[in-house]
Amino acid sequence: MFDAQDQASGLRKLFGDNLPPPVHALSCPSRPAIVLPLAQITAHALVQQGFNLAWIDELDLGNRQDWPLPCPVRFDLSQALMGHVSLASSLLPLNAQLWYALARRLERVPHHVYPSLIQRLQEQGLKLDKILLCLDPGSQRMLSVYHEQVHHTVISGVSAEEVSVARDWIVQMQSRQPASSWGIVWVGAKGKGGRKSPTQTLIDDILQTTGQHVKVLGQLPASLTQGALSNAWAQPQTLRDLWLQHILQA
């Protein structure tokens, strides 16, 4: 049986400081803040399995739909990346295995900032197994400020409008910085056959436009509700497990 804790400790022993931690980005173009509760429970699930990780949160205070910060924050990660404050001032420990940073001002950071976040972490000697990103689809920053290689997971509803928004988002991000991988979770009722569904059209269109394959991680029989985030997911553990499995396999 697969043991994630053994994997975490084994990778540290095998590669030491030479292996940069994989970066996993989560986004929902139709409702950006809905990723916040998912990222939080996923981060704690990874900690319980023995992983050391950083959770980077791009969602601005006005776009969080009342979802609270996990800790008081004084300095934005952008200030550390531009050398205005130390990395320790903006990357805050939530516990012995989990660090958190708010990164809502990254447009100010030069596109080819040196050192990148990954390089700074290695210089500081902070040994991480994973980095989780909550992406703000409205941000114009370049993901290279984190790392050149990013694994993306997108959450999208299945209506024609939601699929179109997801398609535009994936194409835009892929044109800015080619991803290490793209995965998508569909939230909504399954189709009943007949004509090709909008979801399959999206995957085919992105492959034709960018040459990038998008892997379907799963489909939940729910909807992207507009209510409070605390009640946004009827099956939060199911969605968490889909993303968690993808993170552990990448």
Q: Domains along the chain?
A: 4-249 (3.40.50.300)
pTM: predicted TM-score of the whole model, two decimal places? 0.86
pLDDT of res. 212: 86
Q: Which of 135, 106, 130 is nearest to 36 (CA)?
A: 135
Asked if 184 and 28 count as a contact pair (C-beta separation under 8 A), the reply is no
In angstroms, the CA 214 to CA 208 distance is 11
β pairing state of 130-134 and 23-27: parallel
Q: In what order do the strands lie in the sheet with 23-27?
A: 92-93, 98-102, 53-57, 130-134, 23-27, 150-157, 181-187, 214-220
Q: Measure Cα distances from 22 to 11, 15, 248 in Å.
A: 12, 13, 10
Show pLDDT as tens, one digit a residue, over the chain (250 residues).
335 454 444 444 433 556 789 999 999 998 899 899 889 999 999 999 999 999 999 999 888 988 999 999 999 999 999 999 999 999 999 999 999 999 999 888 877 777 888 888 888 888 899 999 999 998 888 888 888 889 999 999 888 888 899 999 999 999 989 999 999 998 876 655 445 577 888 888 888 888 889 999 988 876 665 666 766 655 567 888 888 888 988 6
